[in-house]
Amino acid sequence: MRPSSKRLTLSFDNGPSAEVTPNVLEVLRERELRASFFVRGIDAADPVKRAILDRASEAGHRIGNHTQTHTIQLGSTNDPQIVADEIGLAQEALGDLSEPERWFRPYGGGGIIGPNLLSQAAVDFIAAGHYSVVLWNSVPRDWLDPQGWPEIALAHAREQDWTLLVIHDTPTGAMLALPKFLDDVIAEGIEIVQDFPPDCVPILRGKPVLPIDHIVSEAR
């Protein structure tokens, strides 16, 4: 193993899937790794999927809020009710799975970071609820390239000091490549950690800690 000061944080969006997530959890367990799973409220309310999330939480993985429906980019609306429904209802569905921290990842629409992510109404709701906003700096689009995404993700991990990877534990076939990807990362001496890079958390417990103008729209 070559020594390296680089780090990689694993995060999974849009699951859990009964067909995929249990195997992902087993792959992580075998390598003694912990990750974060950002889920929709409507999935957290499903009994079968909830049982998988309970298992993930018991194994030490973080469970975060990825909106209620994953259909509305919050930068497109300044309607306080829509914001409350998309963030607040999801948080209610997660319940104690997300405690003590309220980790929130906005719907990015393909990994784009820009004013599509939040509106002022969303920022206000996040502040009032003391949410922490978790973004990303690597989206290899595994849902479009189930076999090729590891090469892209590994390149990102080599290029950046600390990579926050977004992949999806959904039934696309992409997670079949997860074991070898993780082994390749470990073989390169890149440390896999659970913490989030500070550069990817612009709002911490409701308070902006980095500039956020570029991710907040002027939606009316």
Contact 168, 14 (CB under 8 A): yes
For strand 207-208 and strand 203-204, is the pairing parallel, antiparallel, or unpaired? Answer: antiparallel
pLDDT at 99: 82
pLDDT at 12: 98
Phi-psi region of 155 (alpha: psi -120 to 50; beta: other; left: phi over 0): alpha
pLDDT at 110: 84
Cβ neighbour number for residue 62 with a 10 Å cutoff: 20
The DSSP result for 30-71, as a single string, is HTT---EEEE-HHHHTSHHHHHHHHHHHHTT-EEEE--SSS-
Q: Hey, what domains does the chain have and what are their CATH numbers? A: 7-215 (3.20.20.370)
pLDDT tens across the length of the chain (220 residues): 455 699 999 999 999 999 999 999 999 999 999 999 999 999 999 999 999 999 999 999 999 999 999 999 999 999 999 999 999 999 999 999 988 899 999 999 888 999 999 999 999 999 999 999 999 999 999 999 999 999 999 999 999 999 999 999 999 999 999 999 999 999 999 999 999 999 999 999 999 999 999 999 987 6
pLDDT at 220: 65
pLDDT at 1: 46
Whether the CA torsion 74, 80, 84, 85 is positive or negative: it is negative
